Amino acid sequence: MTPLPPAPGLDPQSQWQRFCSLLWHDTGMGVWLDVSRMGLDSAGLEAMRPKFDQALAAMDALEQGAIANPDEQRQVGHYWLRAPQLAPDPASAGHIQAEVDRIEAFGREVLSGAIAPAPGQRFTDVLWIGIGGSGLGPLLMIRALQDPGSGLPFHFFDNVDPDGMRRTLASLGERLRTTLVIVVSKSGGTPEPHIGMLQARRAVESAGGQWIRQAVAVTMLGSRLDQEAEQGDWLARFDMFDWVGGRTSITSAVGLLPGVLIGSDIRAFLKGAAAMDAATRDHDLFNNPAALLAASWYQAGGGRGQRDMVVLPYRDRLEVFSRYLQQLVMESLGKKLDRNGQVVHQGLAVYGNKGSTDQHAYVQQLRDGVDNFFVTFIEVLEDPGDIPPLEGENPGDFLDGFLQGTRSALTEEGRHNLSITLQRLDATSLGALIALFERAVGLYGELVNVNAYHQPGVEAGKKAAAALLDLQARLEQAMADQQEHTLADLQQRMGLESPESLYWILRHLCANRRHIDARGDWGNPETLVFKHD
């Protein structure tokens, strides 16, 4: 990979001219984008125009209802969620708008006490059960938009870690009787939210709560979860459309329902996303911020993802944003095959936390170490008005100074970086920020000729996990004869090429005292002997 230093070799006036030519700003949204320090210039962007003509045409077709995920014969319609009039048919447009209205009305009635867990009570908490985008999207909404004392406090089952579940349930305690439990699963059959739902229901009912007055489902119409919620007369059901993927579901019920339950303005959130969508449809590359973003990624990484994306938002409220982008970017772009079936191993790794914390963590390596990354700075200009300067020191000034100082230090060493600036951080600007990255990911996927809307690797992992759980069940059944077995005996009995998977399963079962004893040395697997007690 040939380094393309963004500043060294350019005199200050030339750098200023490059900055002016590659700076995008929208006054209405209050958003700036500067990609002038990414090894990209006007001539390089012009040279990419043929690729972008194809990419933008593909995005136009996607919004018009083309099949974007041929693996599942699915459309990709998250853009319609914030502009229902763009949906390919009037019925879909009406359905989208009706769901937004229902979500808003439900949230307001929960907060007002009109919807309650029992007469004379009010909901005090929300337990959100979702995995992947169904967990990260809501978490981002809450961390970024919830003000102290506004709406309901949220708790999460976003994993199947029993210790995490135990701690969450313990923190709720008696308030489980007044906790709104929201279960999110698009297909209705994903194991993690189903397991979380079972544990939550047991805990709610053990605490004296009423599941049917506290449980809400967010899923596709007609799914296993939808049927269970309908037959069980749950409190509410909201649609998670077939044409919305988990990593782009934040402007669906997945993000809107928590948004209204924390007292945020979900209409403003959708408005911000719609405004950015409109800006990123522009076929003039210099006026399209998503095209500028995708072009800078492509240029910096040689079109092969040879530089990682380090995300540094300089606001605590955006601390979760790097985790959110990990799924959006890496699940979309990390592909073995391109659209022609050729092995390409594409991708773009994402990591980060927040500034200025990370200046005291890994910025040392970013400036002086291996040059295999670019930094995405995110700043917010307006500070909260209730944190005054003390002893002449203003925290916001220092935060801005640290950002500009780190940016300058990296540029001096020829390290690639770009900057996104928000006038203020609110529901509108968060919607715009998310929509900017969604479109940039779609455009970049077209530039490198991969399908950004399927996830065969994720599905492969799910299938492998299911196979191992099936093997565990068969293993426990085979050992019920209470005879002693070595790993070699069990390998032959189970018809496996290697005993390694059995070793992992048995270690877990023995550690949890699941009716299997072991003697021997776990560090020397061939000495181990197992028996069902």
222-240 pLDDT, tens digit per residue, is 999 999 999 999 999 999 9
**C-alpha count within 13 angstroms, C-beta hemisphere, residue 393:** 5
How buried is residue 367: exposed, middle or buried, by Cβ count under 10 Å (0-12/13-18/19+)?
Answer: middle
Q: What's the distance, Cα to Cα, between the start and end of the chain in Å? A: 59
What pLDDT is recorded for position 187? 87
* Residue in 192, 331, 438, 446 annotated catalytic: 331
**Which of 308, 349, 324 is CA-nearest to residue 247?**
324
Tokens in use for 156? 């999460």
Q: Where are the alpha helices (DSSP H) in 394-497?
A: 395-412, 427-447, 456-478, 487-494
With both helix axes pointing from N to C terminus, report the angle between 487-494 and 456-478 in degrees, rounded to the nearest 10.
Answer: 110
Q: Report whether pLDDT(247) > 50.
A: yes
Question: Is 124 in contact with 180 (CB distance < 8 Å)?
Answer: no
Peptide bond before residue 356 is cis, with ω within 30 degrees of 0: yes
Query: Percent of the chain having pLDDT more than 90?
Result: 83
In this structure, what token pair is assigned to residue 525? Answer: 């697997």
DSSP letters spanning 319-339: TTHHHHHIIIIIIHH-EEE-T
Contacts of 268 (CB under 8 A, 6+ apart): 426, 427, 428, 431
Tell me the per-residue pLDDT of 199-211, one tens digit each, with 9 for 90 and over: 999 999 999 999 9
Phi, psi dihedral angles at 426 (to 5 degrees): -150, -175
Q: Give the pLDDT score at 184.
A: 97
What pLDDT, on a 0 to 100 scale, did the predictor assign at position 6? 46
Catalytic residue among 95, 194, 462, 515: 462
Residue 462 catalytic? yes
Q: What is the pLDDT of residue 360?
A: 76
| Residues 6 or more apart in contact with residue 515 via CB below 8 angstroms | 476, 509, 532, 533
Q: What is the pLDDT of residue 457?
A: 66
Spatial CA neighbour of 354 closest among 405, 315, 395: 315
Backbone angles phi and psi of 263, in degrees to 5: 80, 15
Per-residue pLDDT tens for 481-494? 878 999 999 999 99
Q: What's domain 457-532's architecture? A: Orthogonal Bundle (1.10)
> Is the model's pLDDT at 2 over the cut of 80?
no
Average pLDDT, the chain: 93
Tokens, residue 138: 């809501």
Contact (Cβ atoms closer than 8 angstroms) between residue 58 and residue 314: no
Biggest CA pair distance of the chain: 82
C-alpha span between 362 and 349 (Å, rounded):
16
CA distances from 64 to 58, 59, 86, 248, 453 (A): 10, 9, 7, 17, 16
Q: Which two tokens stand for residue 195?
A: 């397991």
C-alpha closest to that of 420 among 284, 328, 318 = 318
Q: How confident is the model at residue 431 (pLDDT cuts 50, 70, 90)?
A: very high
pLDDT in tens, 374-418: 999 999 999 988 888 888 889 999 999 999 999 999 999 999 999
Task: Please tell me which residue in 336, 360, 463, 508 is annotated as part of the active site.
Answer: 360
Per-residue pLDDT tens for 317-346?
Answer: 999 999 999 999 999 999 999 999 999 999
CA gap 23, 488 in Å, rounded: 65
- On whether the 12-73+280-453 domain is CATH 3.30.1490.120, my answer is no
Q: CB-based contacts of 305: which residues, under 8 Å, 6+ apart? A: 333, 346, 347, 348, 349, 448
pLDDT at residue 311, rounded to an integer: 97
pLDDT reading at 459 higher than 80: no
pLDDT at 266 over 60: yes
**DSSP H or E stretch at residue 350:** strand 350-352
pLDDT of residue 458: 67
Q: How far apart are CA 438 and CA 248, in angstroms?
A: 7
99 is catalytic: no
* In the predicted structure, residue 3 carries a pLDDT above the cut 60: no
* Known catalytic residue at 331: yes
Q: How far apart are CA 490 and CA 502, in angstroms?
A: 8
Residue whose entry in the numeric block shows the structure tokens 């009570």: 121
pLDDT of residue 1: 36
Tokens standing for 86?
């763009």
Residues 130-186: pLDDT tens digits? 999 999 999 999 999 999 999 999 999 999 999 999 999 999 999 999 999 999 999
Give the β-pairing of 23-26 and 31-34: antiparallel
Strands 215-219 and 179-184, bridge-based pairing: parallel
The burial class, CB within 10 Å (0-12 / 13-18 / 19+), for 39 is: buried
Domains 78-267 and 457-532 share a fold: no
CA separation for the pair 487, 498 (Å, rounded): 9
* 54-94 pLDDT per residue, tens: 999 999 999 999 988 777 788 999 999 999 999 999 999 99
- The rounded distance, in Å, linking the Cα atoms of 78 and 251 is 7
What's the pLDDT tens digit per position in 286-326? 999 999 999 999 999 999 999 999 999 999 999 999 999 99
Measure Cα distances from 494 to 380, 462, 491, 497 in Å. 59, 22, 5, 9
What is the H or E stretch that residue 138 is in?
helix 133-145
- pLDDT at residue 267 above 90? yes
Q: Cα separation of 254 and 159, whole Å?
A: 17
Number of Cβ within 10 Å of residue 334's Cβ equals 18
In the chain, % of residues over pLDDT 70? 98
For residue 115, give the 3-state DSSP assignment.
Answer: coil
For residue 218, what is the enclosing H or E element?
Answer: strand 215-219
What residue segments make up the domains of the chain, in order of their start? 12-73+280-453, 78-267, 457-532
CATH class of 78-267: alpha beta
